[in-house]
Amino acid sequence: MGVGIGGRSCASSPYAAPNSNPDPAKFSIVKERTIGRFLLLKVRYPNCSNFEGLKILVFENITSANALMALTKGRLDPHFTPHGVQVFARFPPTTEGWKVAKTLARTLTN
């Protein structure tokens, strides 16, 4: 998801799945991995319908999900935003997406 023309989110697109905009206050962390200076998370947003609500997110210079939650006051917005804690990268919530996230983190750490 991103911001479209006029500041509207992609959820307003006629091609977006209904209820596809995740609520940053409602989520669960399914998987966590730290590689170098990168935190990789697989997150489920129960109110989001696309990809069964799963997202793979990468954050830079954050050591753990607990540290991230402290920085974000328990909210986790998966969108790219110029405000607050920023998502470094996002990948499809698949086995391949997780593999590519790990490859990115390893490559940028070395």
Whether pLDDT at 10 is above 80: no
Q: Helices (H) and strands (E) in the chain — how many of each?
A: 2, 4
- What is the C-alpha to C-alpha distance for residues 17 and 109, in angstroms, rounded to an integer? 35
Domain ranges for the chain: 23-109
pLDDT at 47: 87
The mean per-residue pLDDT over the stretch 31-49 comes to 94
pLDDT in tens, 50-61: 888 899 999 999
Q: Give the pTM.
A: 0.80
Those residues with Cβ within 8 angstroms of residue 41's Cβ, 6 or more apart along the chain or in another chain: 29, 31, 32, 56, 57, 58, 59, 65, 68
